[in-house]
Amino acid sequence: MEKDIQEILLTEEQIQRRIQELGEELTREYAGKNPVIVGVLKGVVVFYADMIRQIKVPCQMDFMWLSSYQGTASTGKMVVKRDVSADIKGRHVLILEDIYDTGTSLDFTYRHLLEKEPASLKICTLLDKPERRRPGITLKPDYVGFTIPNAFVVGYGLDYNEYYRNLPYVGVLKPEAYL
Ligand code: IMP
Ligand code: MG
């Protein structure tokens, strides 16, 4: 796997240090609020597992799984493949995401959860790639781990063709690794 990586963008240490900082902010934000922390599968799993242990308040874990309409991924139309199981009406909800790229998936997730009338709805994304944002998407994540340049990255949960999710760092894939 390592041979396919052109450059390590974020080391394990950098990621863990930032998660600790975010954890301190989120612990303050959610004190006394018993939040439901919603992860968007599958890319978020590694970040989710590390992040949740730094949010030191009573909280519940939940997950959503999205997919693009078959054959029309370029239109950016999403469907819910697996919805949250908690009743989040009146609850404080925090969305955890791996990356805010074109914004299609996070924008969809945000609207979908907002319809369920949570008491509050905030977003924490590990990575933000602002250069890729689709016109018309104005959503601003409340918490961002790292703002990164416009490159395709893998590792720490992020995949190419479902591979590389288990790399402990975030790296840029070599062009020749795209098979
Ligand atoms: P969106 O374009 O913001 O809707 O992002 C959709 C999904 O594409 C993200 O949740 C990621 O799973 C995936 N994605 C976007 N950019 C990258 C990347 O650089 N590497 C790996 N996956 C990505
Ligand atoms: Mg994702």
CA–centroid distance, 99 to ligand 1, in Å, is: 6
β-bridge mates for residue 61, sequence order: 37
Per-residue pLDDT at 51 exceeds 60: yes
- Whether residue 158 has its Cβ less than 6 Å from ligand 1: yes
Find the distance separating the first CA and the last CA of the chain, reported in whole Å: 13
Mean pLDDT of the 112-138 span: 96
pLDDT of res. 1: 80
Ligand number with the minimum distance to the CA of 64? 2
* In the predicted structure, residue 72 carries a pLDDT above the cut 50: no
Cα(168)–Cα(46) distance, integer angstroms: 9
CA 175/CA 10 separation, integer angstroms: 19
Average pLDDT over residues 34-61: 98
Output the pLDDT for position 70: 60
Separation CA 23–CA 58 (nearest Å): 13
Q: Once rounded to an integer, what is the mean pLDDT over residues 111-116?
A: 98
- The reply to whether ligand 1 has any atom less than 6 angstroms from the CB of 127 is no
Residue 115 has pLDDT above 80, yes or no: yes
pTM of the model: 0.95
pLDDT digits (tens, 9 = 90+) for 90-110: 999 999 999 999 999 999 999
Dihedrals φ, ψ of 128, to 5°? -135, 125
- 84, 62 contact by CB (below 8 A): yes
pLDDT at res. 76: 63
C-beta 101 within 6 A of ligand 1: yes
Q: Is the CB of 103 under 6 A from ligand 1?
A: yes
Enumerate residues with CB within 5 Å of ligand 2 (an ion).
43, 98
Question: What is the band of 77 on the pLDDT scale with cuts at 50, 70, 90?
Answer: confident
pLDDT value at residue 73: 47
**Token pair 């979908």 in the structure block, residue:** 112
Q: In the predicted model, what is the mean pLDDT of the chain?
A: 94
**Rg of the chain (C-alpha set):** 16
User: Whose alpha carbon is nearest atom 9 of ligand 1?
Assistant: 99
Instruction: Please give the pLDDT value at position 42.
Output: 95
Distance 95 CA to ligand 1 centre (A): 15
The pLDDT of residue 68? 81
Lowest mean pLDDT among 44-58, 59-73, 105-119: 59-73
Q: Give the position, in ligand 1's atom list, of the atom nearest the Cα of 108.
A: 4
Q: Answer whether 125's CB lies under 8 Å from 141's CB.
A: yes
Cα distance between residue 127 and residue 136, in whole Å: 20
> Which ligand has the minimum distance to the alpha carbon of residue 139?
1
Task: State yes or no: pLDDT of 174 exceeds 60.
Answer: yes
Active site residues: 101
* Span from the CA of 65 to the centroid of ligand 2 (angstroms): 9
**Closest ligand to Cα 45:** 2
**Predicted local distance difference test score (pLDDT) of residue 104:** 93
